[in-house]
Amino acid sequence: MNNDTLLSIGELVKICKVSHKTLRYYDQLGLLKPALVNQNNNYRFYKKSQITRLTAIKQLLELGISLEDISTFYNQDTPLTIFDNLKHLLGTQEASIENEITLLSDKLKKI
């Protein structure tokens, strides 16, 4: 199977362990558009290569990055700036987590 092979929404759901509803929502947000939508029955098909993007979205969400920030990242991304944009996104999240740790540590000291 090459990267241009089309997968049904059901196949992508099984491979990536996400729900149909999640894929439809990501489509609505513009995060992960189907490669093809059958006009007769509205079935969605995705390229095998889109598994990488979906996996990245899931990993960024696990790091606590919001869908809004992920969407902004993907919509502003160009091949020349991808690493700088990702570094900035992850740096911002790291700073947020460090701030939260500090706040929680301060609360523990007061107990």
Q: Where are the domains of the chain?
A: 6-110
- Residue 2 DSSP symbol: -
Percent composition of the chain: helix, strand, coil (DSSP 3-state, to 5): 65, 10, 30
The CATH number that domain 6-110 falls under is: 1.10.1660.10
SS3 33: coil
For 8-52, what is each residue's pLDDT tens digit?
999 999 999 999 999 999 999 999 999 999 999 989 999 999 999
Which letter does DSSP use for residue 111 in this model? -
- Give tens-digit pLDDT for 64-106: 999 988 888 887 767 677 778 888 888 988 998 999 999 999 8
Contact 70, 82 (CB under 8 A): no
